[in-house]
Amino acid sequence: MYNTETTMNSGQSNTKLNDMLTDFVEYVDSFYGVNDPLYPMVNKETGQPLSQIDIYAATAHYLAKCSDKNEELCSWGDGDSLDRERVRDILLEEYNYKFIGD
């Protein structure tokens, strides 16, 4: 039986993909995380700063959306600012984060 699910094939090695993912998570963290972020975010319930674990999870969520043929407004841009903003929106809407001061 053939696999009918969508497979993302970037043509990159696993090591290269891992490096790209790590770089993207660090990029998101630099805007919203704990290492001198421009726009720091905290969990609404705990007050804890944004964790890289949640950034990885939100990124996986975003990549899954990008591979879904039914998602019209989602396309991976190689970790550009639009990708960062979409992951930010997932963190705000689905991971219970907010900006400090909100």
- 22-50 pLDDT, tens digit each: 999 999 999 999 988 999 999 999 999 99
What local confidence, expressed as pLDDT, does residue 27 receive? Answer: 97
Strand, helix or coil at 97? Answer: strand
Exposed / middle / buried, residue 32 (Cβ in 10 Å: 0-12, 13-18, 19+): buried
Note whether 53 and 25 are within 8 A (CB): no
CA angle 91, 97, 101 (to 5 degrees): 130
Which CA distances in Å does 8 have to 3, 34, 64? 13, 31, 10
| pLDDT > 80? residue 20 | yes
Mean pLDDT computed over every residue of the chain: 88
Residue 57 pLDDT more than 80? Answer: yes
Greatest Cα pair distance, the chain, in angstroms, is: 54
Residue 32's identity, in one-letter code, is: Y
pTM across the whole model? 0.82
Give me the pLDDT at residue 41, please: 98
Q: Average pLDDT of 9-17?
A: 69
